[in-house]
């Protein structure tokens, strides 16, 4: 296609405070990992250029604050998301338990039109820890994925860069699929018809 | 209504923005892009951001949509920058009519421009920053500057030192400007809208904080650079803005977004600056947040913390040497010289500075701060009790200045127990803690005492030294303070002066306190029973101060002594002299309990307590019998009898007590063998007591049960069987005969029959007859030669005749008749196993 | 129908608490329909509260150390085809004597008699009746003399070489040996327990010197303490399935026995 149409994929990463959302993103985008703990305030994003099936896309990863008090303006940035990544910490039961509520919160706040088909991905982070510290095993996580509608699941270590690219590759592909299915033509047709009667000449196609 | 209006405005704006974005994208994505048209559409939707009708939250929604829209423009520009000369474009948009769209376009283009190789990055940054000053409306300005920061974040140059410096300068300047806008919002509009503005400001806070996040993301900044060049500037702005909301929030952000080790290095600077914050600033929130973060750090990475701390102390030393030369000129009035790398001391010294410099600080805040410092010490220096002593010393000084709202100190009081995994820590604290506790209201002291004790019980913390036992009970002192007299007349003194206190109906709180207190006696433990006993004596010296409430604790104490004697018996280390001490202690304690009964303060409860006293005595007697101290055992039996005679008044209790006496005597072995005369005295007396009971039924039963005291046969445990066979203790049956007196048994049964016969109610007599028949069968089975077939048949005949006399159909004898039939049925069954039964007549 | 039989707590007099594993097992719920408490809760409102929380149908008889005189000393319950009697045990003379218990069961006209007092969990059938003793829920100390077997078990645990020798010795001079052994025990600071003192040979009463008393360690005797236990009764028609719960070194063990009433 010769169209200069540019694809921007908006991906929201959600999960409890401290599960490693920022680290996952840093590892994927900048190939960096820092042991230092820095809380995220509000929402922050990183972008990365990717080629998926010969297609150039810009993936915009939105990191979010796990702590509510740092989300004072609300979560309007969920809007227009093409994919949502749910993250929990395999050494922290509570973060696993909260995955479902993060998903629900996302669906409500992002105003998703077809919640059944919207792509989610589950990531269990921190698999680098010793086995005895692990509280959530793979089987349990798979059950959750089934319960959430057979969503893809990855176990990662942001610290040791395990499975990061694989996970985000699926994230990007699913986001792209979602983006294409909701091409702007769909989304805003009504509005265009109302206001652009007879102005179709400006349109190049 | 206002909200509805707001969301209508928002929806209208959103619709326009969406349409214009669509149009813009069509222009950009057509084969022959119409860039100027696209810009026009962008400018149109950007104009929606000029609104002043939206609350920050709703404005943010609009902003997010605009942000996403402008991303398409950025992408287009990046792709096609050769055709669109970015420098020209950057100039071109300056002529847009309205300032808000103009600046958004400028930043959009400027940021793309920055991303291009060899672009004059620093100039563009500076220019955009300066131009942004054009929007002075707080909300619009804050979002614009937020956009500036979002768009440039991945482009800021950090290659060289000077670039880094510029980048930091850029970010800090943006931060300062945003903070000013944010603070200014406070003074806008009518004063009646103050509340709403506060809410709006709170919503906007993350925009301001985002700049600090940006700095924290610059990996080139190490902790020293942070200390020298970043923190001072940021703190200066925070202090100068004189706005408590901003101060609270921004310090919180600093704590959250910068790494822990930065905080450890800059603790002094950080703490110093807080001394200059405005009134109304919630000091405790920030300190508690900071301390909690440091505690989490210690929990998460203890090894790392160790390294950093030791590094810090080296730095501190160097610094001290360095400053040595300047000491004369240095001003040490408000700023204490940094002499220690000890975290606790830093915070502790700081808490003093706070009190000196911030007189407006209330006690509630101080108590929370001290609590946090206490936790910090327990986390970083778990073994350093001196720290905790200091905290409580300080708290004690503070608490002396006030008599109001003392309850605010309760959490601090509980901290050493609640926060430390080893409850014993509290035993190592000095007097400060106890004094602090005793300065608080009794209810709080009492709750804390229970809290401490429950922790000890929960974790089964053993107390094995005199010190430990004493200290624990001193901490529970509030429960023992009803009396300060410790002479032996405590009780009479107590009851003479304050009898209302000793009503048997205690509050549930008191009862649970004393239950816990009694349980604490189980914590006392020493491998050597004699040392253990000394600890028990100490425990008693405390318990004895609780007036009539000793009834809750003494029985436990007495059982502890009984247990010690058992142990010493097994290991054969029971020293006669020491045993005397044990016995004296036991008797004296038991007598004190009995005094409570005899002087009548416990009313109805007293009788049952007397039963307990008697049973305790019986237990002691039995244990002494087992240890072969038969004379002492005898004494305790006699004492039990005295209690029975003097203190057991209720007829039901008398019967129960008598059963206990019979049961216990029946278990004695050594006294029977060693001094049978004494034993006979005891059992005869017991039978006599039985015959003197108030009710005939009780008399009858007690007497026939007492018959067992002349018939003591030990059935050997299964496990013992093999052993005893080889040891030839018994030939045929696995029994050891302790005492059998056929005649006495028969006499008892006969006597009980006479008593039964003398009952006025025939149905009662009948029931007792059947019971005596059953009892006779027992001895028949056991081979008492005087309980003959003839005797049994006689009994059966007696019962049958009685039934006939009363009349079988008389319902009043249903129960005994059936009992009789069951007994006969039993005899029939036995006849199949034991031929002797065949001769017993049944109907 | 599921019943809980539990007793001889002696809290706080002789024990602090029911093992945590037990309280977990007995957490409030609707599984247990009736609690049969054999008494000797002593002076512990918290324990009573716990028991009452297990089932609203809480039944209790008085033990000799309970300080509530209003409690009954025996109770009888009729279930479908079984009658169950409840009695503390101090009122059965001789205590825990099977024949006396049988007499008592006949008197109360019950098929199953639940009694306590010995702090030793057991269940047996005698002459067609079922006898249950759920033991002590706390493993409370009992004044009943420890059995010879228990004392010897203590010895084996200590692995005293001399004991093993003794086991192989002839029977004839056993008494002599024991006396000799005892002497040795006194000379050394060894803690050889002798069951003799429980056999009534008063002549052997030992009184060690005072200076001999400093180095005594009685910690190993803790294992003589009774084992905490309770029972669950599952009543179905004329069958009572009994589950015997014990807590040994923190581990809960369950045994099962069944009783069927013959018609």
Touch of B by C (3+ CB pairs closer than 8 Å)? yes
**β-bridge mates for residue C2, sequence order:** C234
Cα separation, A55 vs A7, in Å, equals 9
Cα separation, A137 vs A144, in Å, equals 11
Q: Say whether A199 sits in a helix, a strand or coil.
A: coil
Touch of A by C (3+ CB pairs closer than 8 Å)? no
Residue B77 near residue B86 (C-beta atoms within 8 A): yes
For residue B16, what is the nearest residue in chain A, using CA coordinates? A191
| CATH 3.30.870.10 at C2-142+226-260, yes or no | no
Q: Which chain B residues are closer than 8 Å to C217 by Cβ? A: 527-528
Encode pLDDT of B239-264 as tens digits.
Answer: 999 899 999 999 999 999 999 999 99
Does C171 reach chain B within 8 Å, measured CB to CB?
Answer: yes
User: How many distinct structural domains can be found in chain A?
Assistant: 1
Residue C131 near residue C125 (C-beta atoms within 8 A): yes
At residue C227, does pLDDT exceed 60? yes
The model's confidence at residue B493, banded by pLDDT at 50, 70 and 90, is very low
The count of CB pairs under 8 A between chains B and C is: 215
Give the CA count within 13 Å in the CB-facing half-sphere of B694: 9
Q: Which chain B residues are closer than 8 Å to C99 by Cβ? A: 778, 781-782
DSSP secondary structure, B97-145, as one string: SSHHHHHHHHHHHHHHHHTSTT--HHHHHHHHHHHHTT--SHHHHHHHH
Is B555 in contact with C199 (Cβ distance < 8 A)? no
Q: What is the mean pLDDT of residues C11-18?
A: 95
**β-bridge mates for residue A13, sequence order:** A85
Residue A176 near residue A7 (C-beta atoms within 8 A): yes
Cα separation, A110 vs A80, in Å, equals 7
Is B612 in contact with C67 (Cβ distance < 8 A)? yes
Task: Classify strands A43-52 and A55-64 as parallel, antiparallel or unpaired.
Answer: antiparallel
At residue C174, does pLDDT exceed 70? no
**β-bridge mates for residue A48, sequence order:** A59
Number of neighbouring beta carbons within 10 Å of residue B205:
25
Per-residue b or e along B155-182, where b marks 16 or more CB atoms closer than 10 Å to that residue's CB: bbeeeeeeebebbbbbbbbbbbbbbbbb
The three-state DSSP-derived secondary structure of chain C is CEEEEECCCCECCCCCCCCHHHHHHCCCCCCCCEEEECCCCECCHHHHHHHHHHCCCEEECCCCCCCCCCCCCEEEEECCCCEEEEECCCCCCCCCCHHHHHHHHHHHCCCEEEECCCCCCEEEEECCEEEEECCCCCCCCCCCCCCHHHHHHHHHHHCCHHHHHHHHCCCCCHHHHHHHHHHHHHHCCCCCCCHHHHCCCHHHCCCCCHHHCCCCCCHHHHHHCCCCEEEEEEEECCEEEEEEEEEECCEEEEEEEEEECCC
Encode pLDDT of B259-297 as tens digits.
Answer: 999 999 999 999 999 888 887 788 888 999 999 999 999
Is B656 in contact with C73 (Cβ distance < 8 A)? yes
Nearest CB to B60 within list A47, A76, A80: A76
Which of A71-80, B12-21, B499-508 is the least confident region?
Answer: B499-508
Number of neighbouring beta carbons within 10 Å of residue C212:
15
For residue B621, what is the nearest residue in chain C, using CA coordinates? C143
Q: Could you tell me how many residues make up chain B? A: 843
Token pair, residue C190, equals 């060894």
Is B667 in contact with C144 (Cβ distance < 8 A)? yes
For residue A202, what is the nearest residue in chain B, using CA coordinates? B27
Token pair, residue B141, equals 């300005």
Is the model more confident about C184 or about B627?
B627
A89 assigned to some structural domain: yes
Is B71 in contact with A74 (Cβ distance < 8 A)? no
Distance from CA of B7 to the nearest CA of A (A): 14
Cα separation, B618 vs B634, in Å, equals 10
Q: What is the mean pLDDT of residues B732-745?
A: 85
Using CA atoms in the order C217, C218, C220, C221, what is the torsion angle rounded to 10 degrees? 170
Cα separation, A52 vs B583, in Å, equals 91
Encode pLDDT of B538-592 as tens digits.
Answer: 999 999 998 889 999 999 999 999 999 999 999 889 999 999 999 999 999 999 9
The model's confidence at residue C198, banded by pLDDT at 50, 70 and 90, is very low
* pLDDT at B187 (0 to 100): 85
The model's confidence at residue B145, banded by pLDDT at 50, 70 and 90, is very high
Cα separation, B244 vs C261, in Å, equals 81
* pLDDT at B605 (0 to 100): 73
Domain boundaries along the sequence of chain C? 2-142+226-260, 148-223
Distance from CA of B498 to the nearest CA of C (A): 24
Handedness of CA B460, B461, B465, B468 (dihedral sign): negative
Task: Classify strands A153-155 and B711-715 as parallel, antiparallel or unpaired.
Answer: unpaired
Q: Which chain B residues are closer than 8 Å to A81 by Cβ? A: none
**Residue in the block written with tokens 């002349």:** B710
Residue B167 near residue B173 (C-beta atoms within 8 A): no
* pLDDT at A6 (0 to 100): 67
Q: Which chain C residues are closer than 8 Å to B573 by Cβ? A: 191, 208, 212-213, 216
Distance from CA of B522 to the nearest CA of C (A): 7
Among B47-51, B380-384, B731-735, the range with the most confident prediction by mean pLDDT is B47-51
Touch of A by B (3+ CB pairs closer than 8 Å)? yes
Q: What is the mean pLDDT of residues B718-730?
A: 46
* pLDDT at A102 (0 to 100): 94
Q: What is the mean pLDDT of residues B60-82?
A: 90
At residue B695, does pLDDT exceed 50? yes
Which of B145-149, B168-172, B547-551, C182-186 is the least confident region?
Answer: C182-186
CATH number of the domain bearing residue A111: 3.40.50.300
Q: What is the mean pLDDT of residues B148-175?
A: 93
* pLDDT at B340 (0 to 100): 62
Encode pLDDT of B324-346 as tens digits.
Answer: 555 444 444 444 444 467 899 99
The count of CB pairs under 8 A between chains A and B is: 125
Cα separation, B325 vs B829, in Å, equals 109
Does B781 reach chain C within 8 Å, measured CB to CB?
Answer: yes
Distance from CA of B215 to the nearest CA of C (A): 52
Is the model more confident about B455 or about C208?
B455
Residue C5 near residue C38 (C-beta atoms within 8 A): yes
The single-letter DSSP state of residue B256 is H
Cα separation, B707 vs B815, in Å, equals 25
| Chain centre to alpha carbon of residue B658 | 45
Q: Which of B255, B380, B360 is nearest to B310 (CA)?
A: B380
The single-letter DSSP state of residue A122 is E
The model's confidence at residue C223, banded by pLDDT at 50, 70 and 90, is confident
For residue B258, what is the nearest residue in chain A, using CA coordinates? A38
Q: Which chain B residues are closer than 8 Å to C194 by Cβ? A: 572
Q: Which of B327, B578, B205 is nearest to C213 (CA)?
A: B578
Residues 8-27 of C with CB under 8 A from B: 10-17
Domain boundaries along the sequence of chain B? 1-221, 441-488+506-573, 598-694
Q: What is the mean pLDDT of residues B401-429?
A: 88
A161 assigned to some structural domain: yes
Q: Which chain B residues are closer than 8 Å to C149 by Cβ? A: 717, 719-720, 723
Per-chain mean pLDDT for chain B: 88
Chains that touch A (3 or more CB pairs under 8 A): B
A1 assigned to some structural domain: no
At residue C163, does pLDDT exceed 60? no
Q: Which phi and psi angles does B8 have, rounded to 5°? A: -65, -50
Q: Which chain B residues are closer than 8 Å to C193 by Cβ? A: 570-572
Does B4 reach chain C within 8 Å, measured CB to CB?
Answer: no
Structural domain boundaries, residue A117: 7-34+42-182
The model's confidence at residue B312, banded by pLDDT at 50, 70 and 90, is confident
Is C202 in contact with B522 (Cβ distance < 8 A)? no
Q: Which chain B residues are closer than 8 Å to A8 by Cβ? A: 68, 71-72, 75
Encode pLDDT of B456-481 as tens digits.
Answer: 999 999 999 999 999 999 999 999 86
For residue A184, what is the nearest residue in chain B, using CA coordinates? B22
* pLDDT at C245 (0 to 100): 97
Query: Which burial class, exposed, middle or buried, applies to A104 when counting CB atoms under 10 A from its CB (0-12, 13-18, 19+)?
Result: exposed
Encode pLDDT of B768-799 as tens digits.
Answer: 999 999 999 999 999 999 999 999 999 999 99
At residue C134, does pLDDT exceed 70? yes
* pLDDT at C197 (0 to 100): 45
Chains that touch C (3 or more CB pairs under 8 A): B
């Amino acid at each position: 296609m010769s169209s200069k149409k540019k694809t921007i994929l908006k991906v929201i990463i959600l999960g409890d405070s401290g599960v490693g959302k920022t680290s996952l993103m840093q590892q994927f985008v900048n190939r960096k990992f820092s042991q230092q703990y820095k809380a995220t305030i509000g929402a922050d994003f990183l972008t990365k250029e990717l080629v998926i099936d010969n297609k150039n896309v810009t993936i915009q990863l939105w990191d979010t604050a796990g702590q509510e008090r740092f989300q004072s303006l609300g979560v309007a940035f969920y809007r227009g998301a093409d994919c949502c990544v749910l993250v929990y910490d395999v050494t922290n039961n509570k973060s696993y338990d909260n995955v479902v509520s993060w998903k629900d919160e996302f669906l409500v706040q992002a105003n998703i039109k077809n919640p059944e088909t919207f792509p989610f991905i589950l990531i269990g982070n921190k698999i680098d820890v010793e086995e005895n510290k692990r509280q959530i095993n793979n089987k349990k996580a798979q059950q959750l994925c089934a319960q959430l509608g057979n969503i893809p699941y990855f176990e990662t270590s942001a610290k040791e860069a395990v499975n990061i690219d694989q996970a985000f590759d699926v994230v990007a592909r699913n986001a792209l699929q979602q983006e294409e299915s909701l091409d702007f033509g769909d989304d805003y047709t009504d509005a265009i018809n109302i206001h652009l009667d007879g102005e179709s000449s400006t349109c190049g196609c | 209504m206002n909200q509805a209006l707001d969301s209508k405005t928002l929806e209208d704006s959103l619709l326009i923005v969406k349409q214009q974005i669509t149009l813009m994208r069509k222009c950009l994505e057509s084969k022959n892009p119409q860039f100027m048209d696209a810009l026009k559409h962008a400018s149109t939707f950007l104009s929606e951001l000029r609104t002043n009708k939206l609350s920050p939250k709703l404005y943010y929604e609009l902003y997010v949509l605009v942000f996403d829209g402008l991303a398409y423009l950025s992408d287009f520009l990046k792709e096609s920058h050769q055709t669109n000369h970015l420098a020209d474009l950057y100039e071109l948009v300056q002529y847009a009519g309205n300032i808000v769209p103009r600046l958004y376009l400028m930043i959009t283009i400027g940021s793309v421009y920055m991303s291009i190789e060899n672009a004059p990055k620093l100039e563009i940054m500076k220019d955009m920053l300066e131009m942004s000053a054009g929007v002075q409306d707080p909300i619009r300005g804050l979002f614009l500057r937020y956009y500036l920061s979002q768009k440039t974040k991945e482009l800021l140059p950090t290659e060289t030192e000077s670039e880094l410096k510029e980048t930091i300068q850029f970010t800090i300047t943006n931060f300062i400007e945003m903070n000013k806008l944010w603070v200014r919002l406070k003074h806008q509009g009518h004063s009646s809208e103050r509340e709403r503005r506060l809410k709006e400001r709170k919503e906007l806070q993350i925009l301001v904080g985002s700049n600090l996040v940006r700095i924290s993301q610059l990996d080139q900044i190490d902790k020293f650079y942070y200390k020298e060049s970043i923190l001072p500037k940021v703190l200066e702005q925070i202090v100068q803005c004189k706005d408590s909301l901003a101060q609270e929030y921004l310090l919180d952000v600093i704590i959250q977004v910068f790494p822990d080790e930065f905080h450890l290095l800059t603790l002094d600077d950080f703490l110093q600056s807080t001394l200059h914050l405005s009134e109304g600033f919630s000091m405790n929130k920030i300190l508690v947040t900071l301390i909690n973060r440091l505690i989490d750090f210690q929990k998460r990475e203890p090894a790392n913390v160790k390294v950093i701390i030791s590094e810090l102390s080296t730095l501190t030393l160097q610094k001290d040497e360095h400053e040595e030369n300047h000491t004369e000129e240095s001003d040490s009035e408000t700023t204490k010289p940094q002499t220690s790398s000890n975290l606790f001391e830093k915070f502790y010294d700081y808490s003093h500075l706070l009190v000196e410099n911030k007189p407006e600080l209330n006690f509630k805040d101080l108590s929370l701060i001290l609590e946090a410092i206490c936790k910090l010490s327990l986390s970083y220096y778990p073994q350093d009790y001196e720290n905790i002593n200091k905290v409580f010393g300080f708290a004690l000084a503070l608490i002396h200045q006030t008599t109001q709202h003392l309850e605010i100190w309760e959490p601090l009081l509980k901290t050493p127990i609640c926060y430390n995994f080893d409850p014993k820590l509290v035993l190592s604290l000095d007097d400060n803690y106890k004094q602090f506790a005793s300065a608080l209201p009794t209810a709080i002291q009492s709750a804390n005492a229970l809290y401490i004790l429950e922790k000890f019980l929960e974790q089964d913390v053993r107390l094995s030294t005199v010190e430990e036992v004493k200290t624990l009970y001193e901490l529970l002192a509030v429960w023992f303070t009803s009396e300060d007299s410790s002479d032996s007349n405590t009780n009479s003194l107590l009851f003479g002066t304050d009898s209302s206190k000793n009503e048997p109906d205690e509050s549930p709180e008191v009862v649970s306190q004393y239950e816990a207190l009694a349980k604490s006696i189980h914590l006392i433990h020493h491998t050597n029973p004699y040392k253990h006993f000394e600890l028990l004596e100490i425990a008693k010296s405390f318990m004895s101060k609780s007036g009539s409430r000793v009834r809750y604790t003494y029985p436990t104490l007495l059982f502890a002594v009984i247990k010690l004697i058992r142990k010493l018996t097994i290991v054969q280390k029971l020293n006669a002299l020491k045993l005397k001490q044990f016995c004296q202690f036991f008797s004296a304690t038991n007598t004190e309990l009995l005094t409570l009964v005899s002087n009548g303060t416990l009313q109805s409860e007293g009788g049952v307590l007397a039963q307990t006293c008697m049973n305790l005595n019986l237990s002691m007697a039995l244990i002494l019998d087992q240890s072969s101290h038969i004379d002492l055992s005898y004494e305790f039996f006699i004492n039990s009898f005295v209690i029975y005679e003097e203190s057991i008044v209720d007829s039901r209790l008398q019967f129960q007590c008598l059963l206990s006496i019979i049961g216990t005597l029946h278990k004695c072995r050594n006294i029977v063998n060693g001094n049978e005369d004494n034993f006979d005295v005891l059992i005869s007396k017991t039978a006599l007591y039985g015959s003197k009971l108030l009710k005939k039924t009780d008399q009858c039963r007690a007497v026939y049960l007492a018959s067992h005291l002349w018939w003591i046969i030990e059935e050997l445990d299964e496990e013992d069987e093999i052993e005893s066979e080889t040891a030839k203790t018994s030939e045929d049956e696995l029994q050891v005969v302790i005492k059998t007196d056929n005649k006495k048994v028969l006499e008892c049964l006969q006597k009980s029959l006479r008593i039964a016969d003398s009952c006025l109610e025939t149905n009662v007599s009948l029931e007792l007859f059947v019971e005596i028949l059953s009892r006779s069968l027992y001895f028949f089975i056991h081979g008492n030669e005087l309980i003959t077939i003839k005797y049994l048949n006689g009994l059966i005949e007696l019962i049958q005749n009685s039934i006939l006399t009363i009349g079988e159909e008389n319902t009043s004898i249903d129960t005994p008749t059936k009992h009789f039939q069951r007994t006969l049925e039993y005899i029939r069954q036995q006849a199949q196993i034991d031929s002797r039964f065949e001769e017993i007549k049944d109907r | 129908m599921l019943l809980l039989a539990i007793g001889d707590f002696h809290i706080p007099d002789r024990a602090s608490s029911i093992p945590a594993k037990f309280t977990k097992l007995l957490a409030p719920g609707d599984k247990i329909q009736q609690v049969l408490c054999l008494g000797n809760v002593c002076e512990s409102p918290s324990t009573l509260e716990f028991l009452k929380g297990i089932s609203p149908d809480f039944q209790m008889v008085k033990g000799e150390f309970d300080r509530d005189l209003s409690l009954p000393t025996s109770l009888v319950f009729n279930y479908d085809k079984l009658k169950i009697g409840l009695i503390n045990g101090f009122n059965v003379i001789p205590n825990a004597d099977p024949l006396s218990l049988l007499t008592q069961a006949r008197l109360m006209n019950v098929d199953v008699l639940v009694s306590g007092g010995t702090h030793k969990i057991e269940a047996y059938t005698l002459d067609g009746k079922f006898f249950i003793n759920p033991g002590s829920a706390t493993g409370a100390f009992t004044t009943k003399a420890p059995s010879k077997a228990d004392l010897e078990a203590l010895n084996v645990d200590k692995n005293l070489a001399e004991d093993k020798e003794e086991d192989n010795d002839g029977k004839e001079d056993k008494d002599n040996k024991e006396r000799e052994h005892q002497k040795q025990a006194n000379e050394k600071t060894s803690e050889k327990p002798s069951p003799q003192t429980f056999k009534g040979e008063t002549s052997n009463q030992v009184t060690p010197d005072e200076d001999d008393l400093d180095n005594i360690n009685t910690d190993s005797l803790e294992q003589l303490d009774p084992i905490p236990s309770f029972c669950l009764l599952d009543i179905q028609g004329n069958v009572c399935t009994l589950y015997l719960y014990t807590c040994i070194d923190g581990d809960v063990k369950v045994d099962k026995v069944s009783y069927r009433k013959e018609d």
